[in-house]
Every structure is written in C-alpha cells, then in structure tokens.
Amino acid sequence: MSDKLQKVLANAGVGSRREMERWIEAGRISVNGKLATLGDRVEPADKIRVDGNPLNTQNDSPICRVLMYNKPEGELCSRKDPEGRATVFDRLPAIKNGRWIAVGRLDINTSGLLLFTNDGELANRLMHPKHEVEREYSVRVFGEVEDKMLKRLTDGVKLEDGMAKFTNIVKKPSDEESTNSWYNVSLSEGRNREVRRLWESQGVQVSRLIRVRYGELELQKRLPQGGWIELTLPDLNGLRKSVQLPAETNTLIKVEPGKLDHVKLSRMRRSVKKHRVKQANKKRS
C-alpha cells in the first residue's frame, strides 16, 4: 500500500502536509537516493531522508499530543528569526518523537489561542478549509460601524484572494470612546490576515485582535500570555473527532490537571517573566 510522501512525513511528525510540500519543492527530501518531487508515493520499505538524515517510518506512531498556547503580541510564528526576535516556539517543552507543529499562524500583532501538536495529520486537517473548523476572535475596531457594513461582512466580501466572510458577528459591551468598538467574530478558514482584511475592506481599522476559540476549544481565561498547557484526552479527542480522526487512547499527562490552580499559575508566570527578561537582555546585547 502506497501513500503520498507528504502524508507519510506528516504522520511521522516531521511537519504539516503543507510544510512538507514546501520541503519537497525545496529539494530537502529524497526517496531511495533520489530527490523527491510533489506527487511521489512511497511504500513502507522505501528509504526516506530529510535533509540527508534517514527517517524511520517503521516505528509505531507517537502518542498524539496537543498544547494550548496563549500567544502574546510581538512573537513570530516561525521556528527561528534572523533578527533574533522572540518566536512562539521558544518556550515550548522538549519533545522526544517528531517536533511541535503550529496549527495555523497568528501574525506578530495578534495574540491569543495557538495550538501545537506533534501529529502532522491532525494539524493538516485542523487547518484545511474543507473541514471548516471555526475560529473565533475578539476584535477592537476603530471607525464608524454601520448595520449595512456588518451585513456585507456576513454575506461575503471580495478580497484579493477571493470571497471571504464572517460566519457570525456579535458586538460586545464597551466603556471605550464611540470610535472604538469590540466585536466577537467567527470564520471557518484561516487565510493570511483575513480578519483584519475583512474589516479594512469596510474602511475601519483593527487596533486589537485576540483569538479566543479554535473549533470547540476555548482559550483558558486564566492562562497567562506566554504560558502553555497540554490538553487532556477529552479535549484532545474532541479536536480529533471534529476532523474525523480516531480517538487517541494514551496520554503523557500523569494526572488530569483540570483547572489551573494558584501554584501552577504562579510557577507559569515566573517562567514567562524570566523568559521575557532573557529576551530583553538578548536584544540589548
């Protein structure tokens, strides 16, 4: 039985399918000594190398893990930055098999819920438009917002990369000046800067943007910015079920953590503060 090369790489935890397609195009993958090309299929006995290093596809699949991370503004959704800026991968825990894969991206000026997993197939399905996994954002906009504008945003607006729309818009109570309004908006895809571009198409600017939900998973309100928690099996399998993947039966969490208690929060906040001080000193040097 053969499978697409990018699927095999994703299942091995190397990266998401989209990322693996880019690696194949960049000439970083070889199969049986020959550079791979998009569309290649592989058999279980084929010898795959990534950047010259052999990939062992014979081992059992690693336990599926998912992290919830509260991204602060100012962090990049990339593994490394040539300018030495902070990235969302800097404080993630070490992982033995595979590596952490970001489920989608948030731009540098957006904060909130960001998921990481070691399961490339799960990451791919959660990001793929056909599964229509809903994302919800809390957004502050600057400018006058009219009912007609909101109707256009839910009916559909033509952007440079095609039609886009919000599936739902709810205005939030706010004590700020009338020129600033808070809304919760939802959409079922994750194109680049889509929330900002939708509002900008109506002549208003986004001044704050926070992702608060991915699928049925909501950002834990007590989770500090820069902090992460690992999902328990019920939450993890809720994500897997939403994209038609079988349930995971094993977990590396020794005790079901439940809600964040005072001790855990204090420890997490100290760790985040220490990391920020380290980044600040790095910038000065």
Catalytic positions are 107
**Tokens 């990001």 — which residue?**
127
Q: Which long-range contacts (CB under 8 A, 24 or more apart) does 24-32 make?
A: 29/5, 31/5
- Write down the residue that tokens 């699928």 correspond to: 215
CB neighbours of residue 108 within 10 Å: 15
**Assigned token pair, 106:** 């948030």
CB 174 within 8 A of CB 182: yes
Q: Is the four-CA dihedral 88, 92, 94, 98 of positive or negative sign?
A: negative
Structure tokens at 33: 């000594």
CA geometry: angle 113, 183, 205, nearest 5 deg: 95
DSSP annotation of 19: H
H/E run at residue 80: none
Alpha-carbon Rg for the chain in angstroms: 21
What is the rounded CA–CA span in Å between residue 226 and residue 111? 10
